[in-house]
Structures are given as C-alpha cells and as structure tokens.
Amino acid sequence: MIRPLLLALTLAAASLEAMSLTAAAEPLISAPAPAIPVPQPGMSVFSSDGHNVGSVKSIDATQDGRVTALNVAAGGFLGFGARLFTVPEGRFGLIGTVVRVNLTAEEVRRLPSPGL
C-alpha cells in the first residue's frame, strides 16, 4: 500500500518540477516599449539663445509616427496675424514640456513659411 503511494508522490513531484522548468523558460508578459516623447500642439518653442519664438501649431509625421517637422506659429493676436514657419527634422528636441530648436531667434525668423 505504501509503495504505490510513494510512487504516485514521486511522479507528481517530477511532473511539477518539469512544469516549473518549462514555465520559467517562457516569458510571462512582454512589456511594451517605452514611449518616445513627441512634441504636442500648443507647446512653447524656444530658440537656442533662450527666446520664446512661438508655439507648436501642427506636426508633420510619417505613417509610422516619426516626426519629420514642426509647424510653429509666432506672433499674432488671438490666432490672427501669426507667422507660420517650419522647423525641419533634426533641428528640434523636447526638453520637459517645451520644444528647443537648435537655431538662434534670428535664424528662426529667416525660416520659410510652409506652403499651406
């Protein structure tokens, strides 16, 4: 009577050990990739020399979500008379809640307006 019971316990322990080994080899849940910060409309835009040169009006991006340019509005009053200009990819970065362009305020003033 004891032998069959010991045999059953040994087999149960061996199968539990095998299950735990296979379970440890499989990933439980894959974590999502960390979100890449992206400029948002309305964020303030500062030049490399510290001047507030406007705010993000819209964002140009590829279908996969890569930002290719920022359209920035500068000046104006209540949305009227604002000058729009485009900051190309590689010339801006997000620092906290503001966008920093690696252009001086004078260089920003010379940027072309987008063809809207």
Whether 24 shows a pLDDT value over 90: the answer reads no
- Phi–psi pair at 6, nearest 5 degrees: -65, -40
pLDDT in tens, 51-73: 999 999 999 989 988 889 999 99
Rounded distance between C-alpha atoms, residue 39 and residue 43, angstroms: 7
pLDDT of 44 over the 70 cut: yes
Cα–Cα dist 91/107, whole Å: 12
**pLDDT classification of 96: cutoffs 50, 70, 90:** confident
Distance CA 45, CA 101 (A): 7
21, two tokens: 């080994």
Cα gap 114→69, rounded to integer Å: 10
Q: Measured over all CA atoms, what is the biggest interatomic distance in the chain, rounded to whole angstroms?
A: 95
Superfamily of domain 44-109: PRC-barrel domain (2.30.30.240)
